[in-house]
Amino acid sequence: MSESFGLRASVAGEEPAVKLDDVVKRYPGGVLALDRLSLSVAQKEFVAISGPSGCGKSTLLHLIAALDHPTSGTVWVNGRDLSTVRDLSYYRRHEVGLVFQLHNLLPRISVLANVEIVMYGTRLSSRERHQRAMELLAEVDLEGRANRLPTQLSGGERQRVAIARALANEPKILLADEPTGNLDAESAQRIMELFGRVRDTGVTVIMVTHDEVLASMADRTERIERGRIASSTVNR
């Protein structure tokens, strides 16, 4: 794969991409989602977060994405305590890329426009946005679908567009929450291979999944049970 994903390579001595220290997340009503959880993810690592429904997997991802905040403990991303980051909107647009189970593409604009739209407000010119979007669609093998509407694509193709969109602003970390949950086995396999290729360009990939087979395709699997890390498995 070419370097058009545009991510920076990791070097010796870098801070972990993500580090959670003694994190607790308690929701109203006393529901404990995360119970003093600690986790470190290295730069350029592909980590799968697995476990049963309700164990805290998605909560963990939402904290890293700054879509929620911990009750106590600290979430560090690339050496910064997220509680000190003032512009969280900028952080979510440029520091991390987000992929969800539902692709959330805009149905009435083209595939190309769906990728381009997240680059509005950057310093890129219209021509540069178009070029980068086409390069990203080529990376996910969808350059031939650029002018189609999302409704004209398969579920797996739509998810690949969502991944291209998530990478448009050159994030250092890609966060994926059950990205294969609605896909058939062949499409899910292709998405996993794509995540591996993204990791190989220097991106840190953290994926939540309930599928243990898919989780085993990551570099490492962290299994959560009852809000805590129950086991850690190095897959390769």
Give 197-236 pLDDT, tens digit per residue: 999 999 999 999 989 999 999 999 999 999 999 999 999 7
Angle at 5 between CA 236 and CA 223, to 5 degrees: 35
Query: Cα(120)–Cα(211) distance, rounded to whole angstroms?
Result: 35
Q: What percent of the chain has pLDDT over 90?
A: 78
At residue 31, φ and ψ (nearest 5 deg) are -70, 120
Query: Cα(160)–Cα(175) distance, rounded to whole angstroms?
Result: 14
Q: In what order do the strands lie in the sheet with 204-208?
A: 96-100, 173-177, 204-208, 46-50, 220-225, 228-234
Query: Cα(79)–Cα(228) distance, rounded to whole angstroms?
Result: 23
- Please state which CATH number belongs to domain 18-234: 3.40.50.300
What digits encode the pLDDT tens for the residues 159-177?
A: 999 999 999 999 999 999 9
Q: Does the model's pTM come out above 0.75?
A: yes
Domain ranges in the chain are: 18-234
Query: Cα(63)–Cα(60) distance, rounded to whole angstroms?
Result: 5
Contact of 17 with 173, CB cutoff 8 Å: yes
Contact of 205 with 217, CB cutoff 8 Å: no
Query: Cα(31)–Cα(38) distance, rounded to whole angstroms?
Result: 19
Does position 12 have pLDDT exceeding 60, yes or no?
A: no
pLDDT of residue 13: 59
**Average pLDDT value for the chain:** 91
What digits encode the pLDDT tens for the residues 83-139?
A: 999 999 889 988 999 998 788 899 999 999 999 999 998 889 999 999 999 999 999
Does position 9 have pLDDT exceeding 70, yes or no?
A: no
pLDDT of residue 104: 85
Q: What percent of the chain has pLDDT over 70?
A: 94
Pick the closest to residue 46 from 161, 231, 212, 200 (CA basis).
Answer: 200
Tokens 């890390």 label which residue? Answer: 229
pLDDT of residue 87: 93
Pick the closest to residue 100 from 20, 209, 5, 196 (CA basis).
Answer: 209
